[in-house]
Structure formats: C-alpha cells, structure tokens
A and B are shown apart, each in its own frame.
Chain A
C-alpha cells in the first residue's frame, strides 16, 4: 500500500517535471509552468469564480447521473426479464447507443430551447442506453437457483430484492456508475459550452476565446481532482465493501 503510494507520487512528480521542462524550453504564455497554473488556481479559488462554476457543473452532473441511473436500471431490468420486449426494443437501443452526443445536445436545445431542462435531458439521453445495456446483462445473469431457493423458503418480494437480486446486480450498477461518471462529465461540459451561461464548459469556452491557457489548465486540474475524489472516496469503498464475501 505504502509502496503503491510512493510509486504513484513519483510518477506524478515526473509528469510535473516534464511539464516544467517543456514550459521552460518553449517559454511561451501558451504553455505556462505548473507553478503559474497553481497560482492561477489559487486566485480563482479565492475569488469564488471556480467554486461557483464547478459547483454548477457538479450539480448538473449529479442530477443527470441520478436520473440516468434510475431510469436506466428500471428499463434494463425490464428488458432483461422480458425477452419479447427486449427483442423489440433492441434496435432502438442500438440506434440510441450510436447517436453522437453532439447531435442529441443540439437537437435538445433546438427543440426545447436553451434551458436547464434541455441541458439535463441531453445528458440523460446520452448516458441512458449505456446503463440499460449493462443492467440488462446483469438481469439476464441472475442466478435462477437462488431465486428458486427464495421461492421455496417463501421470501417476500422485498426480501428477495434485498438479499437475492440486489447483491447480484450491484457489480453491474458499479460498472454503469463508473463508466457513467467519466462519460457524463465530458458530455456536461459540451452541453454547457453550447447553451449555458455558467458552469465549467461555459468558462472553458470563454478562456478559449481569450487564449487564456493558465485558466484552462487550472480549471481542468480542479475538475480532475474532484472526479478522482468521488472515485476514491465514494465508489471504491462501496465496491470493496460489497465484494468482501469473495474469496
């Protein structure tokens, strides 16, 4: 564990050193050194600009993530249980999986206007098919022997879901959450860039027009740190806890 930590900090320091070296060689305002970026990051934090836009983006991310997970899980379980419905809707899923994110975003804005609902909807529609497919596989893989055991011992529906179904679906939920988080936050930025007047995406767009690379990098670093924190502090412990029964 300690060794792992040492290795990853060493590799991070190496990355910073390469960055520093590059910025020194090119000596351009378009590639600022890590120190400059850190200063900008601190200023932005202190001014409250960064926390505000980051917060807005995280809120959008949270809402659309939760919506996509709930709807996707329900639909995935439904399709996993009903073969006929699955065969019928399978082609729909394939189509939705392959619509470029940009197209959904543009269409949502065109049809519903440049409003918050359209932004959230665009993100949800992009993520949904993914969750559906993962949870459908999970439902198909449910162990019939255990379901029968519950039936034989007269398990109530709630008991069956809690003790037999949920533990089997959980790894699939985790997989959907992980890929979901990384997919959604990228889409959220595009959604903000195209039709919102706040959030990370909007800010990045602004910095792009001003060619303000230090701020772009500062915002990016802040965002990466937050996403990693969610992964390490929430998702990973959840997974470890739920898998402790494995040999």
Chain B
C-alpha cells in the first residue's frame, strides 16, 4: 500500500567552486494515493530527478518530509528505474535481477519477466555486452521483479525503439492493473503521459514547484486510439500555458 504525502519546503544545492548555491525545489506539496499513476512533466533540468531521489529515499538532505499516510502504515517497497540503467557490470542480466529480490521472493517470475521483455536469450550475458535498449529493459525487469508498491521511473523508455517502447508500456500497465501499485513517472513526452497516467503534475522551472495538477480523464479504453490522444494533447496544451513551450 502506498499513500505518500510529499511536502518539500526547500531543497538547496550548495555552492561548489564557482557554481552558486541554487534552490532546486521550493514549496512542493502533493499526495500520492494508492494505485495512482502519476506523470511528472516540466522543463529539463528543473529538478525532477532530484525530486525522485528524495521520494526514493536516496537524498535525505532537504527541508520538509516524505510521509507515509496514516491510513497505510507499512513502508512501501520501492522499485526505482533510473535514467541510465545502473546495472552491475560484473553480474549477468539475470543475476542483476536476482540480487534485488528479498529472501522469500518468487524467483521463477524472473524468467517470465525476461521472456516478456524479450530478454530470454541474453539472461546470462554481462551488461557490457548488451545494447543500451536491452540494458534498459533489464533495469525495468529488475524494478518489476520486486513487486513494488511504489514504482519510481525516470524517463525509462528513452532510447527504446517505438515497437519495444509500446510493448513495455503495455506490460507496465498490465502490471499496474494486476495489483495495487502507485507509479511516479517522469517523461518529456506528453502523449506518453496521456496514454499512461491518471494524473499529470506540471512543474515549473527552478525553484521547482507544482503549477498544475491535471487529471487525465480520457477513458483508458480510448487511449489506444492515437487520434483521440492527439486531441486530448491539443486540449491540454491550449489550456495550460506551461505545456506550450515544451510540448
């Protein structure tokens, strides 16, 4: 179960050498409810990755707090798909996935995942022998394998060919529909955001803060139709100025 209250008063990158101190995030507040698929969009360099690191517990150096809501007390299992795959080069693709499992987790599902992601043949290859697209898919399999309550994804489908990207997107939605899972997904592709998410958080440039909280109310059954997605995208762009420049 994940219900996270995210409340960041301030996140500062201190002065380093000639680079001045920079306020990256200021007064950013939102809640993530169970089973919600949330996409974050905003200009590049505005601090989305920093935000994900804070939510994922990697960056503890900020003012504010990330709280698990009262209703859901257990700490969520988090699957993190980084911008680059971050596989251990000295472990095979399969070992990379096995390593993140906790004792008692289901090992057989790894093979199913590998097969679905088209990785069955390279399961025992070392990451340096894989293409970037393949490595990305291994990283996705790794995040899916731990059966997370919260999935944090930082532009996970960049550099995948459209066909694979489409397949992985469908797999992600399948997994998301099967069991309670919240997703926090950063993307630069508004169409992708519309196809995937329930809710779109539009973020501003530094200091980053929340400008719009848009609910994506295009029914999921219609999202396979690219013309409907396109109409919805135009509607969003005309309604929200911030989206104009970027998308």
Contact = CB atoms under 8 A, between A and B. Distances in A.
Given A148-B58, A149-B86, A245-B128, A163 B91 contact: yes
Given A145-B86, A146-B88, A152 B80 contact: yes
Contact of B57 (A151, A163, A242): A151
B48 to A, nearest CB: 16
A159 interface: yes
Contact of A245 (B90, B142, B146): B90
B202 to A, nearest CB: 26
Given A153-B146, A159-B99, A246-B128, A167 B80 contact: no
Contacts of A247: 126, 128-129
B146 A164 contact: no
Interface string B127-171: 111000000000000100010000010000000000000000000
Interface string A129-156: 0000000000000000110110111110
B78 A152 contact: yes
Nearest to A167: B90
A164 B99 CA distance: 11
B45 interface: no
Interface in B211-228: none
B143 to A, nearest CB: 9
**What bracket does the count of chain B residues touching chain A fall in?**
20 to 34
A8 to B, nearest CB: 31
A153 B90 CA distance: 18
B17 to A, nearest CB: 15
A154 B146 CA distance: 11
B88 A164 contact: yes
Contacts of A246: 89, 128
B232 interface: no
Given A245-B89, A245-B90, A152 B58 contact: yes
Contact of B88 (A152, A163, A242): A163
B92 to A, nearest CB: 8
Nearest to A244: B126
Contacts of B127: 245
Nearest to A166: B90
Contacts of B86: 145-146, 148-149
Nearest to A148: B58
Contacts of B99: 153, 155, 159, 163
Interface string B40-57: 000000000000010011
Closest 5 CB pairs of A and B: A152-B80, A245-B126, A167-B90, A153-B100, A247-B128
Given A152-B56, A245-B128, 13 more contacts: A145-B84, A145-B86, A148-B53, A148-B58, A149-B88, A151-B58, A153-B100, A159-B99, A164-B88, A242-B90, A245-B89, A245-B127, A247-B126
Interface of A: 145-146, 148-149, 151-155, 159, 163-164, 167, 242, 244-247
22 contacts: A146-B86, A148-B53, A148-B58, A149-B88, A152-B56, A152-B57, A152-B78, A153-B80, A153-B142, A153-B146, A154-B102, A155-B100, A159-B99, A163-B88, A164-B88, A167-B90, A244-B126, A245-B91, A245-B127, A246-B89, A246-B128, A247-B126
